Amino acid sequence: MDIHPSAWIAASAYIDRTWPRGIHIGENCVIDEEASVLTHDMTRGIYFDTRIGSDTVIGVRAIIMPGITIGAGSVIEPGAVVTRDLPEGSRVRGNPARQVEDD
């Protein structure tokens, strides 16, 4: 696993250990309670690198699917399921996660 020392990961968060080489978490990231960051798909027997950019916040029970790259400074709202790569500064919610315009 490639996890920056300044990243904060909740004790109940699930960081996939099936293929730990695929985890890349940048500096100052927050991964909240029961959030999941996945790197494998056992049904197809494939493994991917999942990258979380610096200063990203992943909300409670959000799911990051295998092989996703999340740009720096993004916010994944609670319960979102991220199925596509996100550019820097994105804010997403829902299942599947969709871009949210700032209110």
Domains of the chain: 2-99 (2.160.10.10)
Stated pTM of the model:
0.92
pLDDT at 102 over 70: no
Interatomic CA distance for residues 33 and 60, integer angstroms? 5
Q: Encode pLDDT of 20-71 as tens digits.
A: 999 999 999 999 999 999 999 888 888 999 999 999 999 999 999 999 999 9
Q: Encode pLDDT of 58-95 as tens digits.
A: 999 999 999 999 999 999 999 999 999 999 999 999 99
Question: Which residues have a Cβ under 8 Å from the Cβ of 5 and sit 6 or more positions away?
Answer: none
Biggest distance spanned by C-alpha atoms of the chain: 41
Write down the pLDDT at residue 45: 86
Q: What is the DSSP letter of 86?
A: B
pLDDT at 103 over 80: no
Q: Which residue has the higher pLDDT, 69 or 101?
A: 69
- Answer yes or no: are the C-beta atoms of 14 and 40 closer than 8 Å: no
Could you tell me what percentage of the chain is helix, strand and coil, using 3-state DSSP and rounding each to the nearest 5?
5, 35, 60
Strand partners, 75: 57, 91
